[in-house]
Amino acid sequence: MAGPVTFSNIVAVVLNSFLENKDLVNLSMTDKLLREVVPEVMRLLLVDWKPLLKPRLDYEDQNQIDMNRVDMATALAVRSGLDPGKIVRTMDGEYVGANRNVKSILKSVESVVSKEDYLHISKGYLLLVALPDSNWKSLKQTSLE
């Protein structure tokens, strides 16, 4: 028995499909959710999400959410197969703590965590990075410098 038609299943079909656009359109006519989602996913695959990688210097001054940025973020999510890890790694920078000041963080937490936790944190917790295959790898010690 086939499982339910879900948004993530539809994204996977469109992303990994050997079907031509006309076939995807025909497929979308078979189910209400498919009818709504297939054309939207196909549209999102054409959206340029790369402007999201540029710094946003006016973030605190915004009065409303920029729907173009929401569209770009959704396009990136679709391109990433709805995988949050891929999205974060693609965004990089502030989202993965690329510019964190490890010495400053350690100084800030030393007085509020147990000695055991502090030792654990200082031995590399702040220097760990998640790899796509879900293994953990410690970065070089020079990251502390």
Tens digits of per-residue pLDDT, 98-115? 667 788 888 999 999 999
Q: What is the mean pLDDT of the chain?
A: 80
| C-alpha–C-alpha distance, residues 27 and 42, integer Å | 13
Report how far residue 24's alpha carbon sits from residue 75's, in angstroms, rounded to the nearest whole number. 18
The pTM is what?
0.62
| Residue 117 exposure: Cα atoms within 13 Å on the Cβ side | 7
